[in-house]
């Protein structure tokens, strides 16, 4: 004969099954959280290792070198000094030509745009003076007429005492060309190199002489 299961006993078994199912789900969720925490700790550890390696490489690259002196069978270690490479005359000439083009060449006279081009290679004080000068040229001298200018025949002379450049300005006012032979002397200082000025030179002053 089939035994009739009391409703209360059937309900109790159902509740037990439900409790076991929830317990398994809770355990699985706990395991997943523990696994995620472990992954976070591992990733953090790897990140710290990478940062540490980058710091070590940077110190080794930019720091002073260790000089090893071997004499007979003995070795001695000394801390050397990393000296900056001297700037060649050719590098200075290229720098001056770059400055002259940024200062004297334009297709349409825009003092603000020219100031931005000069910013990486001129000191702030000189750049401000040049901005005021170019604004005066545009508004007063040229009276906002259409102008363009280029330079040709550039010759740069670099000595220990001074840097002088000779060139011809080709100024066009409303299409009419006006050649202007020009000589400038520049005061150049050594500063901090950057992405746009890896040589680290800056023009701190410029004196212009127009040759007749």
CB 114, CB 133: distance < 8 Å:
no
Distance CA 202, CA 191 (A): 7
By residue count, the chain amounts to 212
Distance CA 195, CA 183 (A): 30
CB 151, CB 101: distance < 8 Å:
yes
Q: Indicate the domain borders of the chain.
A: 7-66+74-78, 89-210
CB 130, CB 112: distance < 8 Å:
no
Its pTM stands at: 0.61
pLDDT of residue 77: 44
CA atoms within 13 A on the CB side of 96: 26
pLDDT of residue 34: 74
Range 89-210 classified under CATH 3.10.450.230 = yes
pLDDT of residue 21: 66
pLDDT of residue 16: 61
Mean pLDDT by 10 residues, the chain (212 residues): 55 63 64 73 77 64 47 48 71 96 96 96 97 96 95 94 95 94 96 92 92 64
**Helices marked H in 105-151 — which ranges?**
111-118, 124-136
Other C-beta atoms within 10 Å of 51: how many? Answer: 10
């Amino acid at each position: 004969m089939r035994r009739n299961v009391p409703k209360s006993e059937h309900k109790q078994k159902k509740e037990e099954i439900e409790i076991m199912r929830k317990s398994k789900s809770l355990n699985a969720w706990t395991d997943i959280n523990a696994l995620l925490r472990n992954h976070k700790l591992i990733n953090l550890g790897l990140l710290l290792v990478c940062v540490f390696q980058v710091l070590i490489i940077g110190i080794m690259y930019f720091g002073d070198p260790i000089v090893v002196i071997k004499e007979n069978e003995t070795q001695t270690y000394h801390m050397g000094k990393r000296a900056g490479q001297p700037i060649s005359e050719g590098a200075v000439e290229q720098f001056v030509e770059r400055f002259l083009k940024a200062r004297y060449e334009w297709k349409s006279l825009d003092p603000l745009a020219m100031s931005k081009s000069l910013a990486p290679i001129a000191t702030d004080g000189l750049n401000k003076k040049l901005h005021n000068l170019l604004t005066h040229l545009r508004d007063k001298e040229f009276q906002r007429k259409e102008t363009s200018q280029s330079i040709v025949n550039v010759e740069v002379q670099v000595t220990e005492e001074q840097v002088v450049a000779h060139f011809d300005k080709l100024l066009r006012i409303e299409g009419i060309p006006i050649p202007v032979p020009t000589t400038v002397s520049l005061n150049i200082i050594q500063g901090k190199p950057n992405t746009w000025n890896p040589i680290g030179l800056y023009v701190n002053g410029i004196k212009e002489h127009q040759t007749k």
